[in-house]
Amino acid sequence: MTTRASLAAFVMLLPVGLPQPHPVDAPLPRTVINDNSKPAGRMTGSLLAVHLTVGRTQWFPEAEDGPSVEALAFGEAGKGMSIPGPLIRVVAGTRIRVTLTNPLAETLTVHGLFDRPGAPRAVVVPPGATEQVEFSAPTGTYFYWGTTTKSFLGERHADESQLSGAIVVDAPGQRLRDRVIMIGIRLQEPDSTAEGAIPFHEAMVMNGKSWPHTERLNLVQGDSVFLRVLNAAGAPHPMHLHGFYFRVDSRGSWRADTVYARDQQRLAVTELMSVGSTFTMAFVPTEPGNWVFHCHFAFHVSPDRSLVPVDKDTGSHAHAKRGHMAGLVMGMHVAARGPQRVNRATPRDIALFVNAKPRVFRDKPGLSFIEQMGPVEPRADSAQAPGVPLLLTRGERVRIRVINRLGEPTAIHWHGIELESFPDGVPDWSGMPGNLFTSVPANGSFDAVFAPPRAGTFIYHSHLNEMNQIVSGMFNPLIVLDPGQKFDPATDKIFLVGAAGPINEGENDMGTVNGEREPEPIDLVAGRTYRFRMININPEWRVQFTLGTDTEVATWRPVAKDGADLPESQRAPQPAFLLTGPGETADFEFTPTTPGNLELNIRTRVAGWSIPVLLRVGPAQVAGN
């Protein structure tokens, strides 16, 4: 038993500025939300000294007056605990000295504070102890993380899940005006035996906050924007930017980083992050309005990720409303700069119907996009399996009238297309203040007017109630062709991976390829070059594609990512393997050389489902036959 005298003696031994032992019945200190804009520590010559501690706090992942949870957090000594932990930022060549003090009753293990390049070494700090470590690192983006349960990074849940902080090493003379964004998840498993019973919840946060309470990025049209994204959460994340392509400048992890040379850089609209990974991105917002940067796993942005129940019928994406999204979403407002271009070309009209066919998934309807072909509208209860592409032409202005025949609102996002903000498809957010896009009401319609500026492989899909609407079939390829180019199904092969309907209790989530669980074989000809367009819009799974035989992986040539052509230096032939997250597309050229059977195996990255697609390669055709 701890006496008052022994407690007082322990307090006197603590270094100055550390939090005092927390009385059992006193309220926990409130967590400081760290936007990663101010580095910690003090510079003396070429040495940065940072004094870190750890403590238990009351964390408000949503509104500052909303629900809260207890969490362990790092803090700079004397300045309170923060989520994420204090930012360590230096110029390359700086030596970093970190003092770690642990006032907890558990042993603290901290990873990430070691010399790079080099083997990772953890710092172990016993209860009540202080340890010191020095290290340096080359230019790059890293992070440190801690555990009090000896867990691996991806296994940290509940209280210790937010024990992470960024490390940024700038190149000499090249400090960027960037933003550092750390992704975190607090997963709380239910515990009916605990006092008061603990329900299941997940708090999905970017720099300590969940949408719609995440930081807003206020930008100006034509700005150069740099983001560093760090995944300290126990799950992968396909991070998707609306409206603009970004350039990928580096990829790495908490351990090491690779800063790309110019010929290694590429464009993307969605970048898959594994657990513990980092990447840096640069883009120029060319169109004014509101945009979002978010994880493309539907359940990571679902309103169910809120700590409090949400009225899904009355909420929205707007800051004051809640229902359509929560979790890993960051909003951006781009202010206009100067007069805006106006495209007055007469648009080509396209009618796109959203239909519901009853009892496709047991007692639940299948949802379907159907483009009107000819003078007669498709029947209201007709359906078309996903995989039939919507074909547009680069530079041609179109007016796509979305006719919603569902009994509920919907919204359509033209994924990867560079367009104006208003038709981008995020309800109560896309557009400009005072002129925001709203959802397409039941039995209503909406005109999306735009001119796609580049040819490539894209997607269009629901951006409202995605866990039901995308899962039930509201997704399709969108192919933009160069002027004069024709889409030839004989050589253009689309492999669209989607979901297989809402999940009933006791069922496993399954996938489809072009709307089918068992796709028909595809016939190819030896010596002919094909364009394979790979699309993953399954909202739940990372999906990998492997082409070959039982004994050998084939070779293909990558040509595009997310609709953007790859630089020539990245088009070398390579083994036919691709890992994707939801919202990614990739194009490959493939030339089978000999007759025989190949298999394109499409399966989940982790245990889930697998769909083989048989490719039957026939003999080369003789000229003139």
Q: Can you read off the two tokens belonging to residue 505?
A: 């209790």
pLDDT of residue 594: 96
Q: Do domains 216-335 and 495-618 have the same CATH topology?
A: yes
User: CA 587 to CA 566: how far, in whole Å?
Assistant: 10
The CATH architecture of the domain made up of 348-481 is: Sandwich (2.60)
Superfamily of domain 216-335 in the CATH hierarchy: Cupredoxins -  blue copper proteins (2.60.40.420)
Contact indicator for 45, 97 with CB cutoff of 8 Å: no
User: CA 271 to CA 525: how far, in whole Å?
Assistant: 34
Please name the residues in contact with 309: beta carbons below 8 A apart, sequence gap of 6 or more: none
pLDDT of residue 622: 67
Cβ count within 10 A of residue 292 = 23
pLDDT of residue 267: 98
CATH for 495-618 is: 2.60.40.420
CATH 3.40.50.300 fits 4-175, yes or no: no
Q: How far is CA 276 from CA 113, 168, 232, 237, in A?
A: 15, 15, 5, 11
Please name the residues in contact with 508: beta carbons below 8 A apart, sequence gap of 6 or more: 608, 609
Query: What are the domain boundaries of the chain?
Result: 4-175, 216-335, 348-481, 495-618
User: CA 577 to CA 135: how far, in whole Å?
Assistant: 37
CB contact burial 102-115 (16+ within 10 A = b; e otherwise):
bbbeeebbbbbbbe
Phi, psi (degrees; rounded to nearest 5) at 574: -150, 165
* Beta bridge mates, 603: 544, 610
What residues in the chain have per-residue pLDDT under 50? 1-24, 192, 194, 197, 312, 314-323
Q: How far is CA 301 from CA 30, 185, 322, 617, in A?
A: 25, 12, 11, 42
Its pTM surpasses 0.85: yes
pLDDT of residue 5: 32
How far is Cα of residue 473 from the mean position of the Cα atoms in its chain? 21
Contact indicator for 585, 416 with CB cutoff of 8 Å: yes
Place of tokens 């004051």: 320
Contact indicator for 391, 379 with CB cutoff of 8 Å: no
Q: Can you read off the two tokens belonging to residue 127?
A: 């209860």
pLDDT of residue 12: 31
pLDDT of residue 16: 34
pLDDT of residue 103: 97
Return the HEC string of 10-39: HHHHCCCCCCCCCCCCCCCCECEECCCCCE
User: CA 215 to CA 332: how far, in whole Å?
Assistant: 9
